[in-house]
Amino acid sequence: MAERNAMEMAEYKWPEPERRRLIGKRISRVDGPEKVTGRAKYTYDVNRPGMLAGKVLRCPHAHARIVRLDTSAAEKMPGVKAVLPLKKVGDEILWAGDEVVAVAAVDEPTAEDAIRAIVVEYEKLPHFVLDTDPKAAGERVRPTAEQVEGDPDAAFREAEVVVEGLYGASLITHCCLEAHGAVVEWEGENNVLVHVSTQAVSGIAGQMAGPLGVPAGNIRVKQDHIGGGFGSKFGPDSWGIAAAQLSKMAGGRPVKIMLERDAELMVAGARPSYYGRVRVGAKRDGTVIAWESETWGTGGIPPTSPLPLPYVLRIPNQRKRHVAIVTNSGPARAWRAPLHPQACLLTMAALDDLAAALRMDPLDLLLKNIELAGERADVYREELQIAAELMEWKKRWHPRGDPSPGPVKRGLGVSIHTWPGRGHACRCDLTIHPDGSVEVKLGSQDLGTGTRTAIAIVVADTLGIPLEAVRVRIGDNQYPPAGGSGGSTTIGGVSSAARRAALDALDQLFARIAPLLNASPDQLEAWEGRIRVKEDPSRSIAWEQACARLDGMPLTVRGENPGPGELTTAGAAGVQMADVSVDIETGIVRINKMVAVQDCGLIINMKTAESQCYGAMIMGISYALYEEKIMDPATGRMLNPNMEFYKLAGLADIGELVVHMMTGEKYDRRGVIGLGEPPVISPGAAISNAVANAIGVRVPFLPLTPERVLEALAKKGGSHARV
């Protein structure tokens, strides 16, 4: 038996290409039909009997102290069921929009009236929201220790070319189309039911237990579908806790608090701004030898951490300094690939400027230095070549500054990126029912990435049954716990756990069926709806008949990640190129085409993998050209907490997009690697580089608004600046 176990252990791997009927193919989302018919339920759609409307009174000032708080009038209003102060007199408020009082009432208008009836007096305190200049920030800077590798001073002396540039990306928000929020109700004294829009179904109860004073095991968390998270929906949030407390005060009636759009943009998370001065030193042949960066930026009150610089390419000699600027801009949260898009921009733009100074094609400069990417250098080399072909780079690239006549200048840019993406800790229960149907349960969530579909693909392929025979149940914390969907860890986690569960279940089923087929269990395989003897496929039994042998008892097996066999690893590599047109009279940038070439190890579903790349490129176009959380120096408030001036790219703003996923044995053998984040990293850098290539000058900061493009052109001078 010991020998057999060892053999089983060796079986925990992904099937060979010829054994994949579903894995890696283009499979439509299993929940597509629900979503296109409007049947899919999101937290915002939850409508519970007796439900109360919850609203939050928010502080209008960016920095203030509460000197008076009187909720008595609101409490007395008919229809108001609970009033819960979230702050008290004397408390200091550190950003506009922070929560002060929550109320629950019979309907929204009544709740709004109650909010208006609350009297709060503030002592306004000085606020600060500027983040582009650390010298203007006075005492609000928080320096971190200088980091040095190699001998940067000697390297810069040795360098034959040194370029220096200023780059950065403004504060932006997540702007989930479904706002943050929850519907919470008490069932008796000690049990709580929570519907919440979350990226971490299994993680919510533990975060609510303390504040609510009930055991985590008594908190039931549910979510069918979520309308976007992008890193901003991992906790119950203060308003989720408030909804629970209001419900308790109202005798357990369900309380729904979904953020209004302005609150969503003001307080439900932002990607920190980062700016930096970068010096790069190189040999005349383009060999990069020295890096120096001084960075700053803000994520509100908690200091921002240093960026992973220089990005991807490990330049041997470096010196890095970072100062965080502490501002009243509101809370920051993880935003799809935290720190990477900013680090990528600072690095890839600096290298692009170096290439321009050397009169080199930046693609050649990257290839020249690609060994600095370490382990993944060969992947980047291959990807850069494929991207160049898809973009016709060598034919179309021109040195910096499009010499063609007319106001519209065209240019190309390139960038590379990386992301770990190893699968998270995850458990799942797989049940084979005697009727042959299969259920998989886990406390995971599908952010629209196709998690349900991926699990179904893995299980169906492993068991040799059709996709439709597998029912995936997620979105409930009564199922085995699965990690939160952050860091592109979900696909690796859920697919590995599901694969192990399915393999183990199959082994158990084989053990029952083997005697019927006069074979030993290890001689069996599951293929196309039958269990058969590998050496003699004519000896087989239909899947349903095999399952009927379970004696009426469903077979349930637990699958886990991590576990035996290396089914998921880390280290996705990707390349993107952008082709833009810039109207130098208006400063308006249009995307003609973008190319993404991406590796993510073994691909479970080609269709949803490509979707991630398309979506990420568009999100990238959006933050590269349009998005900015505009903070007002006068009031300290966000000036554009709406979708009118917080601008997202529309369908006619994106140009042609080309996605190429890397496939083949070399990629398959690394197992599954997450993909949600990697392709959103490079667009900012690739587009910024393309704009510089088009107009002949660097526009330092994203988004590349007309204002910033014209300013850069004016500084460059010459006839481009004015018409």
Span 192-251, contacts to another protein by CB under 8 A: 225-228, 230
Q: Which of 50, 650, 717, 718 binds another protein (CB under 8 A)?
A: 650
Buried b (16+ CB within 10 A) or exposed e, 89-117: eebebbbbbbbbbbbbbbeeebbebbbeb
Provide the minimum distance between the beta carbon of 640 and another protein in the complex, in angstroms, as a whole number.
7
CB of 615 to another protein, least distance (A): 5
614 binds another protein (CB under 8 A): yes
The CB-of-112 to another protein minimum distance in angstroms stands at 7
The distance of closest approach from Cβ of residue 175 to another protein in the complex, given in angstroms and rounded to an integer, is 6
Alpha carbon distance 90, 87 (integer Å):
9
Strand pairing category for 524-527 and 530-533: antiparallel
User: Which residue among 90, 652, 664, 719 contacts another protein (CB under 8 A)?
Assistant: 652
Cβ atoms of 86 and 55 within 8 Å: the answer is no
Least separation, in Å, of the C-beta of 140 and another protein? 19
Closest CB to another protein among residues 410, 670: 410
Binding residues among 405-434 for another protein as defined by CB under 8 A: 406-408
Cβ 21 to another protein, closest distance in Å?
A: 18
Q: How many residues bind another protein (CB under 8 A)?
A: 84
**Helices vs. strands in the chain: H and E counts, helices first:** 19, 29
Q: Are 318 and 255 in contact (CB under 8 A)?
A: no
Q: Which tokens is 557 given?
A: 């097996």
Of the candidate spans 82-90, 395-403, 410-418, 699-707, the one that interacts with another protein by CB under 8 A turns out to be 699-707
Question: Tokens 């499009």 identify what position?
Answer: 402
**Residue 436 vs residues 71, 84, 665: alpha-carbon distances, Å:** 60, 52, 33
Q: How far apart are the first and last CA of the chain?
A: 84
> Among candidates 628, 619, 698, which has minimal Cα distance to 653?
619
| Pick 385 or 611: Cβ nearer another protein | 611
Q: Which residues ranging from 482 to 521 are in contact with another protein (CB under 8 A)?
A: none
| Nearest approach, Cβ of residue 111 and another protein (Å) | 12
**Residue 585, amino acid:** E
* Selection from 628, 630, 642, 639 nearest residue 261 by Cα: 642
Q: Facing residues of 607 across strands?
A: none
Return the range that interacts with another protein (CB under 8 A); candidates 160-168, 273-281, 445-453, 516-524: 445-453
User: Per CB under 8 A, which of residues 447..486 are in contact with another protein?
Assistant: 447-449
What is the separation of C-alpha 719 from the centre of its chain, rounded to a whole number of angstroms? Answer: 42
Taking CB under 8 A as the rule, does residue 591 contact another protein? no
Residue 546 is a binding residue for another protein (CB under 8 A): no
Q: Of 653-692, which residues contact another protein (CB under 8 A)? A: 653-654, 657
630 lines the binding site for another protein (CB under 8 A) = yes
Report the site for another protein in 97-136 (rule: CB under 8 A): 108-109, 112-113
Which residue among 103, 179, 289, 470 contacts another protein (CB under 8 A)?
179
Among positions 478, 528, 643, 718, the unique one binding another protein when judged by CB under 8 A: 643
Q: Is 627 in the site for another protein (CB under 8 A)?
A: no
- Are 294 and 321 in contact by the 8 Å Cβ rule? The answer is yes
Coil vs helix vs strand at 145: strand
Residues 6+ apart with CB under 8 A from 210: none
**Under DSSP, is residue 229 helix (H, G, I), strand (E, B) or coil?**
coil
Q: Nearer to another protein by C-beta: 199 or 462?
A: 199
Residue 618 found at the interface with another protein (CB under 8 A): yes
Beta carbons of 451 and 517 less than 8 angstroms apart:
no
| Chain Cα centroid distance, residue 664 | 26
Nearest CA among 70, 41, 43 for reference residue 57: 70
CB atoms within 10 A of CB 306: 20
715 binds another protein (CB under 8 A): no
Instruction: CB nearer to another protein: give 145 or 723.
Output: 723
- Residue 133, Cβ density class (10 Å: 0-12 exposed, 13-18 middle, ≥19 buried): exposed
Residue 108 Cβ vs another protein, minimum distance, rounded to whole Å: 8
357, 585, 592, 663: which one contacts another protein (CB under 8 A)? 585
Interacting span for another protein (CB under 8 A) from 64-72, 523-531, 648-656, 688-696:
648-656
Q: Does 49 bind another protein (CB under 8 A)?
A: no
Cα–Cα nearest to 679, from 449, 494, 485: 449
Q: Which is nearer to another protein, 479 or 623 (CB)?
A: 623
Q: Compute the least distance from the CB of residue 243 to another protein, in Å.
A: 17
Stretch that binds another protein, among 243-251, 290-298, 596-604, 624-632 (CB under 8 A): 624-632
Cβ(648)–Cβ(308) under 8 Å?
no
Asked whether position 73 contacts another protein by CB under 8 A, the answer is: no
**Residue 182: strand pairing partners:** 196, 257
Contact mark string toward another protein, 304..343, x via CB under 8 A: ----------------------------------------
Stretch that binds another protein, among 150-158, 385-393, 539-547, 647-655 (CB under 8 A): 647-655
3-state secondary structure 94-119: CCCCCEEEEEEECCHHHHHHHHHHCE
**Position 404 contacts another protein (CB under 8 A):** no
Furthest-apart CA pair in the chain: how many Å? Answer: 87
CA distance 419 to 676: 10
Q: Among 35, 18, 22, 16, which residue's Cα sits nearest to residue 467?
A: 22
Q: How far is the CB of 25 from another protein (least distance, A)?
A: 13
Q: Where are the alpha helices (DSSP H) in 440-542?
A: 451-463, 490-513
Q: Does 25 bind another protein (CB under 8 A)?
A: no
Give whichever of 6 and 652 is closer to another protein, judged by the CB atom: 652
Per CB under 8 A, the list member of 20, 48, 261, 381 interacting with another protein is 261
Which of 283, 381, 615, 663 is in the footprint of another protein by CB under 8 A?
615
**Residue-by-residue DSSP string for 661-695:** E--SHHHHTT-B---SSGGGTSHHHHHHHHHHHHH
Which of 159/695 has CB closer to another protein?
Answer: 695
> Residue from 707, 715, 717, 718 that binds another protein (CB under 8 A)?
707
* DSSP-derived secondary structure for 265-305: HHHS-EEPPEEEEEEEEE-TTS-EEEEEEEEEE--SSSPPP
Residue 3 CB, nearest distance to another protein (Å)? 46
Identified binder of another protein from the candidate list 3, 375, 644, 665, rule CB under 8 A: 644
Taken in order 708, 714, 716, 719, the sign of the CA dihedral is positive
Any contact of residue 63 with another protein (CB under 8 A)? no
Q: Which of 65, 148, 648, 716 binds another protein (CB under 8 A)?
A: 648
Span near another protein by CB under 8 A; candidates 244-252, 279-287, 418-426, 640-648: 640-648
Token representation of residue 116: 């208006």
Query: Cβ 323 to another protein, closest distance in Å?
Result: 24
User: Of the ranges 211-219, 297-305, 429-437, 614-622, which one interacts with another protein (CB under 8 A)?
Assistant: 614-622
Q: Is 647 in the site for another protein (CB under 8 A)?
A: yes
